[in-house]
């Protein structure tokens, strides 16, 4: 995935399902082309293949299981994700936490099928441990910025730079996304200025009154 | 779902993923039309929408989560399944067991979105408890027939008839599929003669050398 | 377990751990003897054996795993519970939900080791399904009485009697405890008048300012 | 925990439950005193308090939950473990894997209640990630030595020394136990010579014909 980038997680929102999912993905693609920036989308499992096949932008599965293939009813595999035409997978999201051992197995399976991995971590210690497992990206949610009114651009710059420094000490190659406190173009701009490789967000786009405008505003921070 | 029927679970087999999944579904559709019988397919989540949109036969998701919609990364909802054009969902498969409370919530959510439910049960006591929760179908795996060489047509008929009677006592309206010991046309025929409404199977079709022939043989037992 | 009875769940409250757990159990024993009623206690796993060995009243484990014995680090077995001198086990508590299949296995294992089973159910449909699995007791939490200010004695009597009738239809032998809306002697009295076999509660006793008085008040409703 | 040490995990073996558990612990204590070495035992939850109270040797819980206290039926907390008189806790055993986030929370809770932590890891990458989270001990199971006939003393010394070096790079303070390939006094001796701080094992002691002799043989390798 080209960086800096904006990743949009559709979660299981109705506003990000079916035709609505396609509409968000189309807006993302149009804006990515217009501004010449990298925007990726992560629809639910059922919409993933359709969007991956139609769109030129990168698509991510929201999760996968730590099995390669076989008699595993209801499981999502790296092979399925690859066959669907998707480019990567989000792992260990706070709404889908996985066992430490599975994270390692998942990263290995994703690599085997050439899928880009984004592993979520909501504390700096977790991020450092994840860095050791060598994913492509870590999505950091700085505790100070979760669920509050403080955004990246308003926060003390040290919060982000310290986080980046600490994680890079354990793995200088891993790329970092900010996953909390991002609401505007200025937040995106600031996050990148402070050393991260992009941002990941969900409801700020998926539940926006004007999805196109929301994406365009955020994406213009990547330029 | 029209009965008697044959349900094919693709699990996470490579032979049931992507183009191979589509090929199995196409064979199932062709044979269903040719023999005028009911055949349903259950591809993995990522292939489900594509197959549901292309095919006239009924499609089932292999699992779903007990949430309606919202901030649930990596979850599969009844709404997504409905939007994908699928007709139902398999629940509580032995490879994806769920908590008792979730089964009830799932059945309710499936009903809300007009999805047909097949709940798996591998012991007669479990099947009776599931019957109380009022799903459309219960997929029974008679313990005597699991993983062995004895098939429905060779087993003592009492094994099946007793099972059917016991479950129907708790819910006379629930329909029953046999999920073990089914390998040939004769097994399908016998299962239906003994009072069940169809069969569900996986590797016997998905990993067959000649998938078309395997489905045709089994489906001819429905006539 | 003799009925009617009062079951006190210590959960993982600090006020119900260690010496405090012993104190609650001693109060329960004293009051059980004084009023000649049945009171049972369910301490955490670590306090269970100590209390079971010292006390003449019945003790319950708060959960158990669906394995009999073996290489299962961190698991609690029916054999361990029996060896500890406890008399029973609470299963499927809303804070420790288990898979449907496990509930059946657990009930079977508990019976093998002569442990009394109390299976929790917070909806009437769940209670009916559980009744089929034939535990000794079902702890019902009538949805209308959970977390609200309405107690059993203030509620419409039909709420309880209908619940009792519905569950007994599926298993006339199973005994029923009420697990919500019980705060006073009058609630206990009313619950029993309406056809239940006792009550189960936690913070109302464990976090009471005067534990002895709280137990005595509730237990006097059993007389 | 004084090092080098021998940790005995009783798992859920019947031979390590109740009176048999006490007998193993007594043998361990006697041998620890006789040889003046450190031996710790990890009984099941129900036997833990009794053994912790009677014995002078260190005792470990086999698992704990990532909650501090409260309305958590069937949960084991650091507070309970401390109150029971135990000295530490085994975390993330392969038979009780936990989510990455929980491991961090558990280590923090254990530290708060001054419990020694042993976190299990069965691959070197996992061990390195765990090292970042700063537990007291990591129990390593070198993949080459699991379930096979090769023991530590017969293996190429590089297998162990490389493992030790790699993990210490991420956390020079963390102590290391070997958890596979240990059967005799020579294995224990060799493990310590190669830079580890002790060994952890289960069935080799618990299911031994002569438990006393088995412990004495292994413990003599610590001298």
Q: What is the pLDDT of residues C124-149, one digit of tens each?
A: 899 999 999 999 999 998 877 777 77
pLDDT of the residue at A90: 98
Neighbours of B210 (CB within 10 A): 10
The β-bridge partners of A41 are: A8, A59
* A200 band by pLDDT with thresholds 50, 70 and 90: very high
What percent of chain C shows pLDDT beyond 70?
100
Q: For B94, which residue in chain C has the nearest alpha carbon? A: C101
Residue C155 has pLDDT above 90, yes or no: no
- Give yes or no for a contact between D174 and D138, defined as CB atoms under 8 angstroms apart: yes
pLDDT of the residue at C142: 80
pLDDT of the residue at B37: 98
Mean pLDDT throughout A127-154? 88
pLDDT digits (tens, 9 = 90+) for D210-219: 999 999 999 9
Residue B136 vs residue C155, higher pLDDT: B136
- Please write down the long-range contacts of B207-215, taking CB distance under 8 Å and 24 or more positions apart: B207/B13, B207/B15, B211/B23, B211/B24, B211/B27, B212/B27, B212/B30, B212/B31, B215/B6, B215/B8, B215/B24, B215/B27, B215/B28, B215/B31, B215/B39
Find all residues with CB under 8 Å of B39, minimum gap 6, and list them: B5, B6, B7, B8, B28, B29, B31, B32, B57, B215, B219
Residue C114 burial (C-beta neighbours within 10 Å; 0-12, 13-18, 19+) = exposed
pLDDT of the residue at A163: 87
Q: Residues of C with catalytic annotation?
A: 93, 141
pLDDT digits (tens, 9 = 90+) for B32-41: 999 999 999 9
- Give yes or no for a contact between D141 and D122, defined as CB atoms under 8 angstroms apart: yes
pLDDT of the residue at A58: 97
CA distances in angstroms from B18 to B10, B15, B62, B206, C215, listed in the order given: 11, 9, 15, 13, 63
**Which chains contact D through at least 3 pairs of Cβ atoms less than 8 Å apart?**
A, C
Radius of gyration, CA atoms only, chain C: 16
C-alpha A4/C-alpha D134 separation (Å) is 32
The reply to whether residue A12 touches residue B62, judged by beta carbons under 8 angstroms, is no
Query: Which one of D65, D76, D90 has the shortest CB-CB distance to C73?
Result: D90
Q: Residue C203 — φ and ψ, nearest 5°? A: -60, -30
Q: Which helix (H) or strand (E) holds A178?
A: strand A175-178
* D157 band by pLDDT with thresholds 50, 70 and 90: confident
pLDDT digits (tens, 9 = 90+) for D56-111: 999 999 999 999 999 999 999 999 999 999 999 999 999 999 999 999 999 999 99
Residue A62 has pLDDT above 80, yes or no: yes
Q: Give the CB-side neighbour count of residue D51, counting CA atoms within 13 A.
A: 34
First to last CA, chain C: 16
Pairs of residues, one from chain B and one from chain C, whose beta carbons lie less than 8 Å apart: 61
pLDDT of the residue at B181: 85
pLDDT of the residue at B144: 78
Minimum distance, in Å, between the CA of residue A127 and any CA atom of chain B:
19
pLDDT of the residue at C162: 86
pLDDT of the residue at C15: 98
Interface of chain D against chain C, CB under 8 Å? 9, 11-14, 17-19, 44-50, 61-63, 65, 67, 69-77, 79-81, 83-84, 90, 93-96, 202-203
The reply to whether residue A46 touches residue B70, judged by beta carbons under 8 angstroms, is no
The rounded mean pLDDT for chain B is: 95
Within 8 A of A76 by CB-CB distance, chain B residues are 12, 44-46
* A138 band by pLDDT with thresholds 50, 70 and 90: very high
pLDDT digits (tens, 9 = 90+) for B6-29: 999 999 999 999 999 999 999 999
The reply to whether residue A70 touches residue B13, judged by beta carbons under 8 angstroms, is yes
Residue A146 has pLDDT above 80, yes or no: no
Minimum distance, in Å, between the CA of residue A175 and any CA atom of chain D:
17
Residue recorded with tokens 């179908």 = B137
C-alpha B163/C-alpha B160 separation (Å) is 5
Per DSSP, the three-state class of D38 is strand
C-alpha D111/C-alpha B186 separation (Å) is 64
* C103 band by pLDDT with thresholds 50, 70 and 90: very high
Mean pLDDT throughout C112-127? 95
pLDDT digits (tens, 9 = 90+) for A73-102: 999 999 999 999 999 999 999 999 999 999
Residue C152 has pLDDT above 90, yes or no: no
C-alpha B125/C-alpha B144 separation (Å) is 14
- Give yes or no for a contact between A103 and A92, defined as CB atoms under 8 angstroms apart: yes
Q: Which helix (H) or strand (E) holds B90?
A: strand B88-91
The reply to whether residue B73 touches residue A84, judged by beta carbons under 8 angstroms, is no
Within 8 A of A133 by CB-CB distance, chain D residues are 125, 129
Within 8 A of C63 by CB-CB distance, chain D residues are 73-74
Nearest to D119 by CA among D139, D96, D94: D139
The reply to whether residue B76 touches residue A11, judged by beta carbons under 8 angstroms, is no
- Give yes or no for a contact between A179 and A143, defined as CB atoms under 8 angstroms apart: no
Residue A105 has pLDDT above 80, yes or no: yes
The reply to whether residue B47 touches residue A80, judged by beta carbons under 8 angstroms, is yes
Q: Residue A123 — φ and ψ, nearest 5°? A: -140, 155
C-alpha C50/C-alpha B193 separation (Å) is 58
Minimum distance, in Å, between the CA of residue C104 and any CA atom of chain B:
7
Nearest to D99 by CA among A81, A122, C94: A122
Within 8 A of C98 by CB-CB distance, chain B residues are 99-100
Residue D146 has pLDDT above 80, yes or no: no
- Give yes or no for a contact between A203 and A10, defined as CB atoms under 8 angstroms apart: no
> DSSP assignment, residue B59?
B
Lowest average pLDDT, out of A54-63, A178-187, B38-47, B126-135, goes to A178-187
CA C150, distance to chain mean position in Å, is: 21
pLDDT digits (tens, 9 = 90+) for C15-45: 999 999 999 999 999 999 999 999 999 999 9
Q: For D119, which residue in chain A has the nearest alpha carbon? A: A100
Report ipTM for this prediction: 0.96
Find all residues with CB under 8 Å of A44, minimum gap 6, and list them: A10, A11, A12, A16, A17, A21, A62, B75, B76, B77, B80
Nearest to B106 by CA among B83, B134, B127: B134
C-alpha D212/C-alpha D28 separation (Å) is 8
- Token pair, residue D77, equals 């907390």
Determine the residue among B73, B118, B205 to mutate to test chain A binding: the one whose Cβ has the most chain A Cβ atoms within 10 Å.
B73
Find all residues with CB under 8 Å of A25, minimum gap 6, and list them: A41, A43, A51, A54, A55, A57, A59
Mean pLDDT throughout B153-182? 90
What percent of chain B shows pLDDT beyond 70?
100
pTM of the model: 0.96
Residue B180 has pLDDT above 90, yes or no: no
Strands C5-9 and B5-9: unpaired
Neighbours of C128 (CB within 10 A): 22
- Please report the sign of the dihedral spanned by the C-alpha atoms of residue D77, residue D78, residue D84, residue D88: positive
Mean pLDDT throughout A191-208? 95
* D123 band by pLDDT with thresholds 50, 70 and 90: confident
- Token pair, residue C33, equals 């003897």
* D113 band by pLDDT with thresholds 50, 70 and 90: very high
Nearest to C210 by CA among C5, C4, C89, C31: C31
pLDDT of the residue at A155: 81
CA distances in angstroms from A107 to A14, A114, D125, listed in the order given: 29, 10, 12
pLDDT of the residue at B117: 98
- Please write down the long-range contacts of A15-21, taking CB distance under 8 Å and 24 or more positions apart: A15/A206, A15/A207, A16/A43, A16/A44, A16/A206, A17/A44, A17/A46, A17/A47, A17/B69, A17/B77, A17/B79, A17/B80, A17/B83, A18/A47, A18/B80, A18/B83, A18/B84, A19/B83, A21/A47, A21/A51
Q: Which helix (H) or strand (E) holds D83?
A: helix D78-83
* B169 band by pLDDT with thresholds 50, 70 and 90: very high
């Amino acid at each position: 995935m080209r960086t800096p980038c904006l990743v949009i997680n559709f979660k299981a929102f109705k506003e990000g399902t079916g035709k609505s999912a396609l509409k968000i993905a189309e807006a993302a693609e149009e804006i990515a082309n217009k501004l010449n920036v990298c925007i990726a989308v992560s629809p639910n499992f059922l919409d993933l293949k359709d969007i991956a096949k139609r769109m030129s932008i990168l698509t991510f599965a929201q999760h996968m299981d730590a099995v390669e293939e076989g008699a595993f009813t209801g499981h999502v595999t790296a092979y399925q994700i690859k066959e669907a035409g998707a480019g990567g997978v989000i792992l260990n999201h706070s709404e889908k936490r996985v066992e430490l051992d599975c994270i390692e197995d998942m990263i290995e399976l994703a690599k085997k099928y050439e899928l880009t991995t984004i592993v979520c971590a909501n504390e700096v210690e977790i991020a450092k441990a994840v860095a050791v497992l060598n994913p492509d990206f870590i999505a950091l949610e700085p505790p100070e910025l979760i669920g509050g009114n403080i955004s990246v651009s308003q926060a003390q710059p040290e919060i982000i730079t310290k986080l980046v420094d600490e994680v890079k000490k354990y793995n200088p190659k891993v790329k970092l996304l900010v996953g909390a406190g991002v609401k505007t173009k200025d937040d995106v701009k600031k996050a990148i200025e402070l050393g991260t490789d992009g941002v990941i967000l969900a409801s700020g786009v998926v539940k926006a009154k004007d999805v196109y405008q929301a994406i365009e505003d955020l994406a213009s921070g990547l330029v």
